[in-house]
Amino acid sequence: MEKGKGLARRWAVELHDASSSSSSFPDPPGFTRSAPEADDAATARQRKDSEVAWKGQKAWEVAQAPFKNLMMMGFMMWMAGSTVHLFSIGIVFSALFQPFNALRSVGKVFEPFKDPRVDTLAPKLLFIALNLAAMGLGVWKLNTLGLLPTNASDWVSSLSPAREVEYSGGGIPLI
Amino acid sequence: MAPPPRRLLLALFGFLTAAVLATLVAAVYEDQVGLADWHQKYIGKVKQAVYHSQKSGRRRVVVLTEENVIASLDLRSGDIFWRHVIEKNDPIDQLSLSLGKYVVTLSSGGSILRAWNLPDGQMIWETNIQTSTASKSLLHVLSSNKVAKDNLVLVSTGRSIYAVSSIDGVISWRKDFTLDDLEIKQVIQSPENDIVSVVGVAGSSKLALYQLNAKSGEIVKDAQESLPGGLCGETVLGSHDVLIALDQTRSAIFVIEFKGLSLSYNKVRVSNFVQDLSGTVKLLPLMSNGIIALQSSCTVYLLKLKGMDGLEVIHSFDRPAAVSDALAITEKDEAFAVVQHVGSQIEFIVKVTSDLSNEVIREKVDIDQHRGSVQKVFLNNYVRTDKSHGFRALIVMEDHSILLVQQGAVVWSREDGLASIVDVMASELPVEKEGVSVANVEHNLFEWLKGHMLKLKGTLMLASADELAAIQSLRLRSSEKNKMTRDHNGFRKLLIILTKAGKVMALHTGDGRIIWSNFLPFLRASKSGEISSALRIYQWQVPHHRVMRENPSILVVGRSGGDSVSPGVLSILDSYSGEELNSQRFDHSVAQIIPLILKDSSEQRLHLIVDSNSLAHLYPRSPDALKSFIHERSNLYFYSVDIQENAIRGYSLQKSCDLNLEDEYCFSTKELWSIVFPSDAERIAISETRKLNEVVHTQAKISADQDVMYKYVSKNLVFVATVSPKAAGEIGSAAPEEASLVAYLIDAVTGRILHRVTHHGAQGPVHAVVSENWVVYHYFNLRAHRFEIAVIEIYDQSRADNKDVMKLILGKHNLSAPITSYSRPDVTVKSQSYFFTHSVKAMAVTQTAKGITSKQLLIGTIGDQVLALDKRFLDPRRSLNPTQQEKEEGIIPLTDSLPIIPQSYVTHSLQVEALRGIVAIPAKLESTTLVFTYGVDLFYTRLAPSRTYDSLTDEFSYALLLITIAALVAALVVTWVWSEKKELRDKWR
């Protein structure tokens, strides 16, 4: 029936059904047509998984980045010495402000790794901890420079003398 | 590793020390002299004046003053040509000229005779004369009519007479008279021959006359005569062979004629020829030519000698202010001057002895009201072009100023009262009124720019020599520093000065000019001859909130009599204008004046005046003041250091007077405590306390290792030093074993001795200064034969455990709780002493507005200069090898003597002759303190003990800064335009 119909037309171009025409060719050996199609979802999942892994890895890397910074700061501080001058003050302030800024932008830093399946909490915590450590180093340095009011002397140095209740004037009488 | 060579270490150490010292030096550059400081030279109250002879052609006068100064003044301007300030222990009694080129002075009771070169004041020679008795000495320069090569100077003391060559000071002869108790009263030279007559009084009634050969000193003639009724000692030569003497009762005159070998006398009662004479009389060493002058209490009589029989009054002056000595104008004629007060003017009268009925000159001269009455007059004549005689006179006023009067006008005047300052205080200038713009101050913008351009040129070293001079003069007469308004930095102030004469003057700190002066009426000598004395000045009222519109005022306290029991007087002056606002005469004496911290509602400061009966009187007498005083009375005490009784006593104030119950402003006192020093071992040498207005910034002292020590800061801390009586004299009068100095720190409320330290082998004079929690005192170490300065710092141990940081943070400490002296004090003391090269005349410490700036000691040295010594050198924590931390803190390695760095002399190259006091006044700018030094001279400067860390220096070139900014802005604009253009070009490409 179909043939008869076909005979009736001189020619026909079937543009759309490539598969039907290609399916006329035998599949190469070892090729199962159904396999990739069945695997498609799996590949996507796999790709996603690797991205998640990558994101997780990256997040950890980002989280660990301050550690390097920490080491460098430590070295710089050691170089700066324990006397108050422009260089040491600069270093201490950068050591304090860098972690502070990092902590302020902690959300932004981990923005690219935001994923419901990626657990950024742990890297975030590490990041925060390391930055806090860097800040602590800065504070410690500030203290070694003697710029922290930790001594009693820092609190009494501007204390004016106490009022006296009694007053006694006099001296040698005028001759 | 081998240890570094020691030499290297030493060099390094030396370098470090030098570096440390270099940071302590704050000297001025040569071109900065006179920018912030001024120096004024004075001589004091003139007691004798000798004019140059007319032949020498120099118009100068040599004066001797009560401040022991001999000076040569220019008669045209009053400027000082030369001046010598002699030590007070060598008082100059007499002054004379010899040969027209030497000034001869006799000092130290006739034992030192000196000759000075008249033109330049250099000393030519000095001769010591042995004097046995403490009798009055006389100086007589023989005037030779002949052109003699040598002039003899006769010095008579007691019963000896010396003749000294005026060329080289060699004693050419000496004569001791044999008569017992002889005291030479007069040396008379007869003009014709070389005979010198010496008149002396032995005992009370015996008159002796010797005639000596002036060349050899041999007695030519002598005669003695006992006079009935005795002699008081005053003699005067009537004519060349008649002597006039007063008797013991000063009511009769002996006319003594000495012709040949005999003395004949005649006693004349003064009342015989002078009608209605009151009181006693005295002879004025004035006239000759048979005319003598007699002064009673208010009148001067001129008497003419009529042979032996008597005297006749030929003229009398009623109430003359002063009469000058006679001045020989011709061979026979002498002139004298009389000065009288006529209303607000003075009348200057000159008469000649040959014609007493006529006056050569009678001129009225206008004189400043604030000079008081005329004290002395010294007459001088000059020959006018028409060969007639002109006269001028040096007039010494009651306020110690001198005036030169010539042709009815005051040619010049000198304010020499400033040579004897009694007390000084600083007062603020008025606040600048609104509406005074910058243009008014700086004249105009163009001038301002020109000035700054000049300065800029100077900075860039482009200025020529002329321009440099212009810059210097611009800086010196900067109008900014002499303005009559308060400035932002508090540099411009008024120095209110009280002089010995009783004159109050206000000097501007900018250039030292006198803004106002007031010779207080109550301190002037009254008609009855009562001598008043000025005692002290205090700040009376500093207007703040409520009474802002009023001017500040000052309190002057004086005494209307010479002794300590005479009643006191008080005067209140407006400190802007010097007008007297109020004056009051007390009915009690003044022994002590205690300014209190309390104020009444009109911001008047309360003062307690303690009289000699230990009764305290409160001033101002207002109910308001009384109320605030009663409220605080139980906390007010006073103490008295009695040097005679060698004791210190403390008193409390009782409710009211025992004697006078109506007077509610009078309070009796009760002795609470006394410290009596053993008189055989200790004598009080000095008592010193903190300045009442001193501001202390902090009570804590922090050492390098962050340890806190609490200062014992108390207004009631008194430093007293005693010396052993044997060593109370001069240095060297006692052996080291018997000399000792004991220093006490005493609480003046309870009389508790907080600390006591004995320096064996040390003696006075002791000078001390107390500030914050430390005392620095200066004495002589007999064992080391050097002066020493010791420092004591006291710390409060009872608050030392306030070291818990948390408690301090939370404010749970007792450090700001009020302190009472009755709590048990627990103090620790640190002390150290150092050698010091100079002996010291005065000591003070710098004061700043908030007490933050480190302190410097101001030491008036024996060379009449002021040395600023950092307190860091006097730190008891100094040690031989300070640790690194201590070095960082600024502790200087210990040395046995204090360094004297030439650059740290505050007075740089100047001398403040006869330095007596140093006053430090805080400026408004915290880094700066104003220092005023006085003696015979005055010196004022600004000092920054830690440099001016809170302001740009005067040297700062604002123009350079402006030009730099302008250039940068221009560069910014140009580069911006360039970059825009370049960008545009790049875009088209």
For Cα atoms B11, B17, B19, give the angle at the middle one, nearest 5 degrees. Answer: 100
pLDDT(B10) > 50: no
Is B458 domain-assigned? Answer: yes
Question: How many of the other CB atoms lie within 10 Å of CB of A137?
Answer: 18
Q: For residue B776, what pLDDT is reported?
A: 96
Q: Do A153 and B700 touch (CB under 8 A)?
A: yes
Among B299, B224, B303, B288, CA closest to B256: B224
Residue ending a domain, among B626, B642, B676, is: B676
For the segment B641-655, what is each residue's pLDDT rounded down to a tens digit? Answer: 999 899 999 999 988
Q: Which residue of B has its CA nearest to A159?
A: B698
Residue B698 and residue A168: Cβ atoms within 8 Å? no
Q: How many CA atoms lie within 13 A of B775 on its CB side?
A: 32
In angstroms, the CA B563 to CA B934 distance is 26
What is the four-CA torsion angle of B182, B187, B192, B193, rounded to 10 degrees? 50
Residue B652 lies in a domain: yes
* A161:B535 CB<8 A: no
Average pLDDT over residues B499-524: 88
pLDDT for the residue numbered B560: 82
HSE at residue B621, side-chain half, CA atoms within 13 A, is 14
- The amino acid that residue A1 corresponds to is M
Considering only CA atoms, which of B331, B295, B325, B291 is closest in space to residue B311? B291
Task: List beta partners, residue B139.
Answer: B155
Q: Is A6 on the interface with B (CB under 8 A)?
A: no
Contacts of A156 in chain B (CB under 8 A): 698-700, 708, 710, 802, 808, 815
Average pLDDT over residues B429-438: 62
Residues in chain B with CB shorter than 8 Å from the CB of A154 are 805
Q: At residue B440, does pLDDT exceed 50? A: no
A162 and B CB contact within 8 Å: yes
The answer to whether the Cβ–Cβ distance between B818 and A158 falls below 8 Å is no
pLDDT in tens, B478-489: 667 777 888 888
Residue B271 has a pLDDT of 74
CB atoms under 10 Å from CB of A32, counted, come to 9
Residues β-bridged to residue B938:
B40, B934
- Nearest chain A residue to B821 by CA distance is A166
The predicted-structure confidence for B65-78, as pLDDT tens digits, reads as follows 999 999 999 988 98
Task: Specify if B961 maps to a domain.
Answer: yes
Instruction: Tell me what pLDDT residue B478 has.
Output: 66
CB B754 within 8 A of CB B746: yes
Structure token digits, residue B83 = 């001046």
Taking a C-beta distance cutoff of 8 angstroms, is the pair B913, B68 a contact?
Answer: no
Asked whether residue B493 falls in the same domain as residue B514, the answer is: yes
Q: What angle do CA B179, B185, B189 make, to 5 degrees?
A: 105
- Burial of B1 by CB count in 10 Å (0-12 exposed, 13-18 middle, 19+ buried)? exposed
Residue B145 has pLDDT above 60, yes or no: no
CA–CA separation, B144 vs B136, rounded Å?
25
Size of interface A-B (CB pairs under 8 A): 139
User: Higher confidence at residue B764 or residue B724?
Assistant: B724
B527 and B578, same structural domain?
Answer: yes
Mean pLDDT (whole number) for B806-826: 81
CA distance B612 to B609: 10
- Note the pLDDT tens digit of each residue in B155-203: 888 778 888 888 888 888 888 887 777 778 778 776 666 778 888 887 7
Mean pLDDT of B378-397: 86
Residue ending a domain, among B526, B561, B589, is B589
* Whether residue B498 is found in the same domain as residue B520: yes
Q: Which tens digits make up the pLDDT trace of B199-217?
A: 888 777 778 888 888 888 8
Would residue B656 count as lying in a domain? yes
Tell me, what's the pLDDT at B8? 44
Q: CB–CB of B635 and A171 under 8 A?
A: no
**Are β-strands B636-642 and A167-171 bridged in parallel, bridged antiparallel, or unpaired?**
parallel
pLDDT at site B12: 47
Please answer whether residues B202 and B185 qualify as being in contact, where contact means their C-beta atoms are separated by less than 8 angstroms.
no
To which H or E segment does residue A67 belong?
helix A34-80
Contacts of A152 in chain B (CB under 8 A): 706, 708, 802-805, 808
In chain A, the residue whose alpha carbon lies closest to the alpha carbon of B852 is A158
Q: Percent of chain B scored above 70 by pLDDT?
A: 89
Do residue A174 and residue B593 have CB atoms under 8 angstroms apart? Answer: yes
Residues B699 and A161: beta-carbon distance below 8 Å: yes
Which residues of chain A lie closer than 8 angstroms to B748, CB-CB?
168-170
Nearest to B592 among A159, A164, A170 (CB): A170
Least trusted range by pLDDT, from B81-95, B293-307, B506-520, B942-956: B293-307
What one-character-per-residue DSSP string does B497-550 give? EEETTSEEEEEETTT--EEEEEE-GGGS--TT-PPPEEEEEEEEE---STTTTS
Q: Which helix (H) or strand (E) holds B796?
A: strand B786-796
- Rounded average pLDDT over B848-863: 92
Contact residues on chain B for A155, CB-CB shorter than 8 A: 805, 808-809
How far is A92 from chain B, CA to nearest CA, in Å? 21
Burial classification of residue B478, based on how many CB atoms lie within 10 Å of its CB (0-12 exposed, 13-18 middle, 19 or more buried): middle
Question: Residue B371 carries which DSSP code?
Answer: G
Identify whether residues B550 and B464 lie together within a single domain: no
Among B614, B641, B676, residue at a domain's last position: B676
Residues B519 and B574 in one domain: yes
How far apart CA B477 and CA B376 sit, in angstroms, is: 37
pLDDT at B218: 83
State whether B805 and A155 contact (CB < 8 Å): yes
Cα distance between residue B80 and residue B846, in whole Å: 32
Cβ–Cβ of B596/A172 closer than 8 Å? no
* Tokens, residue B874: 């006097």
* CA nearest to A167 within chain B: B636
Mention every residue, 6+ apart, whose C-beta is less than 8 A from residue B358. B351, B352
Q: Does A168 touch chain B (CB under 8 A)?
A: yes
Top residue of A151, A164, A166, A172 to mutate, by most chain B CBs within 10 Å, is A166
- Would you give the end-to-end CA distance of chain B in angstroms? 70
Residue B490 has a pLDDT of 87
CB-CB: which of A153, A160, A167 is closest to B716? A167
For B630-676, the DSSP string reads HHHGGGEEEEEEETTTTEEEEEEE-SS-SS-SS-TTEE-EEEEEEEE
Report the pLDDT value the prediction gives residue B7, as an integer from 0 to 100: 47
Average pLDDT, chain B: 83
Helix or strand (DSSP H, E) at B753: strand B753-760
Asked whether B374 and B349 are in contact (CB, 8 A), the reply is: no
Give the least confident one: B1-5, B318-322, B368-372, B544-548.
Answer: B1-5
A43–chain B Cβ distance below 8 A for any pair: no
> Is B511 among the domain residues?
yes
Average pLDDT over residues B537-563: 81
Would an 8 Å CB–CB cutoff place A153 in contact with chain B? yes
The predicted pLDDT at position B206 comes to 79
| Cβ–Cβ < 8 Å for B184, B197 | no
Collect all residues of chain B within an 8 Å Cβ-Cβ radius of residue A143. Answer: none
Please tell me the distance from the alpha carbon of residue B372 to that of residue B522, in angstroms, as a whole number. Answer: 11
Handedness of CA B236, B239, B240, B242 (dihedral sign): negative
Q: Measure A130 CA to nearest chain B CA, in Å.
A: 29
| pLDDT tens column, B577-587 | 888 898 888 88
Residue type, B865: Q
Query: Are the C-beta atoms of residues B238 and B255 closer than 8 Å to each other?
Result: yes
Q: What is the pLDDT of residues B90-142, one digit of tens each?
A: 888 888 888 778 889 988 888 889 999 988 889 999 998 887 666 677 887 77
- Tell if the CB–CB gap between B818 and A163 is shorter than 8 Å: yes
- pLDDT over 90, % of chain B: 31
Tell me the mean pLDDT in the region A33-61: 76
Residue of B708, B816, B819 lying closest to A152 (CB–CB): B708
pLDDT of B931 over the 90 cut: yes
What phi, psi does B102 have (nearest 5°)? -120, 145
Q: Which residue of B has its CA nearest to A147?
A: B706
B489 and B572 within one domain: yes
Does the structure show a pLDDT above 90 at B778?
yes
| One domain, residues B477 and B500 | no
| Structure token digits, residue B194 | 């070389």
Binary contact (B640, A168; C-beta < 8 A): no
A173: chain B residues, CB-CB within 8 Å: 564, 591-592, 612, 640-642
In a shared domain, residues B475 and B504: no
The DSSP symbol for B552 reads P
Q: Tell me, yes or no, whether B554 and B522 share the same domain.
A: yes
- Number of compact structural domains in chain B: 4
CB-based contact, A150 to chain B, within 8 Å = yes
Ramachandran category for residue B50: left, alpha or beta (phi over 0 → left; psi -120 to 50 → alpha): beta
Q: How far is CA B926 from CA A162, B80, B158, B490, B844, in A?
A: 22, 38, 61, 10, 18
Q: Report the alpha-carbon distance of residue A20 to residue A3 in Å, rounded.
A: 17
Supply the Cα-derived Rg of chain A in whole angstroms.
38
pLDDT at B496: 94
The pLDDT of residue B756: 94
Residue entry with tokens 């023989």: B142
Same domain, B563 and B640: no
Closest Cα in chain B, distance from residue A153 (Å): 6
CA distance, residue A144 to nearest chain B CA (Å): 13
- From B868, B873, B872, B862, select the one nearest B897 (Cα to Cα): B873
Of B530, B483, B533, nearest in space to B509 by CA: B483
- Determine whether the interchain pair B819/A165 forms a contact, defined as Cβ–Cβ distance below 8 Å: yes
- A158 contacts in chain B (CB < 8 Å): 697-698
ipTM: 0.77
**Whether B637 and A168 lie within 8 Å, measured CB to CB:** yes
Residue B64 near residue B940 (C-beta atoms within 8 A) = no
A148 shares contact with chain B (CB less than 8 Å): no
Segments in B878-957 forming alpha helices (H)? 884-889
**Segments forming the whole domain that contains residue B984:** 957-989
Q: Is A156's CB within 8 Å of B816's CB?
A: no
Name the strand (E) or helix (H) holding B929. Answer: strand B929-934
Which residues on A lie below 8 Å from B749 (Cβ)?
166-168
Residue B811 is encoded by which pair of tokens?
């404010």
Does B67 fall in a domain? no
Beta-carbon separation of A159 and B815 below 8 A: yes
Residue B498 and residue B468 share a domain:
no
pLDDT per residue as tens digits for the range B328-351: 777 777 888 888 888 888 888 888
* B861 has pLDDT over 60: yes
Q: Do A169 and B595 touch (CB under 8 A)?
A: yes
Give CA–CA dist B283/B832, Å, rounded. Answer: 61
| Distant-in-sequence, close-in-space partners of A120: CB < 8 Å, separation ≥ 6 | A59, A110, A113, A114
**ω into B620 cis (within 30 of 0):** yes
Convert the pLDDT of each residue in B266-294 to its tens digit: 777 777 777 666 666 777 765 566 677 77
Q: Are residues B585 and B601 both part of a single domain?
A: no
Comparing CA positions, the residue from A67, A97, A93, A99 lying closest to residue A145 is: A93
According to the model, what pLDDT value does residue B798 have?
84
Provide the token pair at B390. 């002109």
Residues of B in contact with A150 (CB under 8 A): 805
Angle at B96 between CA B327 and CA B217, to 5 degrees: 105
Q: How crowded is residue B91: how many other Cβ atoms within 10 Å of its Cβ? A: 12
- Residue B980 is assigned to a structural domain of this protein: yes
